[in-house]
Amino acid sequence: MSFPERRLRRTRHSPAMRRLVRESHLVPSQLVLPMFVREGLSEPAPIGSMPGVVQHTLDSLRTAAVEAAEARIGGLMLFGVPATRDACGSGADAEDGILNVATRAVAAEVGDELVVQTDLCLDEFTDHGHCGVLDARGRVDNDQTLRRYEAMALAQARAGSQLLGLSGMMDGQTAAVRAALDAEGFTDTGILAYAAKYAGAFYGPFREAVDSQLTGDRRTYQLDPANGREGVREAVTDVAEGADVVMVKPALPYLDVLAEVRRAVDVPVWAYQVSGEYAMIHAAGANGWIDGRAAMFEALLGIRRAGADAILTYAAVDAAGWLREQL
């Protein structure tokens, strides 16, 4: 044979060689932990469908935030669960609203060690559970909702949030929030646009986590799972409107979108491994059907390989611990 035979396995023989040729890496600083804080709670409350995840009290949130900082993860994403709700979600921008109170506490505690981020959306605060306010016919009113997001953005920025997670999927939300922040001098507060957020079944456990009041679905504002190009269009639009980071969500069923978005924009691209993805891996692992830890790693690495610079995952602190064990 004149041609040298292609020996593709040569770079796989030893652990040292495999390590040297590895293309993707996972490090704790690329992980962001979503956390829930519930108003009026006296003890942390476990979330049945998400083993290991709880609704925090203000105190337990602060303690867990310190632990996350000690695990050297990259950031926290805070969600608030209010005691009372109304049609316009007034708890969202109230200074004493649970999310704003929690943000102030967490930012003061760990704001120099990791990036304190907040979910900017109305669904936890509205009595109908939609991500925006409704018009007379009961439909989500895009532009009235933007006014609410602007107020919420200012409240969160004042509370010390460093990066606002715009997850409501209203048109023009990034531009509206950017302008509102700049007008009040919050020019250093960043925007993480949940640019390509798909309407689907993987948010089930999250709805338990925030006691969601939603009865219908979010298909008039979140993306159709069938549409990849539309997800890229959303991301490109958000960058044009001033997003500092864009996100694809959920992660695992949308790796193609993630890869396309990565190619289409030059800002950081993140992915959200959502509650249903976490719950599936956890449940199968608990049943002994898969190795839960290995599967979690494989999923996170796959999300990185597809193009995510960072990942929001409920396993952030666990994964950071496992990564340290491997060193």
Query: Least distance (Å) from ligand PBG to the CB of residue 31?
Result: 14
Is 297:273 a contact under the CB 8 Å cutoff? no
Residue nearest to ligand PBG (CB): 206
Using the rule CB under 6 A, which residue among 39, 93, 119, 150 binds ligand PBG?
119
Residue 107 sits in the site that holds ligand PBG (CB under 6 A): no
Per-residue b/e over 216-255, b at no fewer than 16 CB within 10 Å? eebeebbbebeebeebbbbbbbbbebbbbbbbbbbbbebb
**Amino acid, single-letter form, for residue 17:** M
Using the rule CB under 6 A, which residue among 274, 299, 303, 311 binds ligand PBG?
274
To the query of whether residue 197 is one of the catalytic residues in this protein, the response is yes
**Among residues 23 and 230, whose Cβ is nearest to ligand PBG?**
230
Residue 238 sits in the site that holds ligand PBG (CB under 6 A): no
Query: Least distance (Å) from ligand PBG to the CB of residue 165?
Result: 7
**Among residues 109 and 295, whose Cβ is nearest to ligand PBG?**
295
Q: CA 287, CA 240: separation in Å to the nearest integer?
A: 46
DSSP per residue over 166-214, as a string?
Answer: E-S--TTHHHHHHHHHHHTT-TT-EEEEEEEEB-SGGGHHHHHHTT---
Residue 206 sits in the site that holds ligand PBG (CB under 6 A): yes
Neighbours of 324 (CB within 10 A): 11
Residue 161 sits in the site that holds ligand PBG (CB under 6 A): no
Query: Least distance (Å) from ligand PBG to the CB of residue 279?
Result: 9
Residue 125 sits in the site that holds ligand PBG (CB under 6 A): no
What residues act catalytically?
197, 249
Residues that bind ligand PBG (CB under 6 A): 119, 121, 123, 131, 167, 203, 206, 218, 274-275
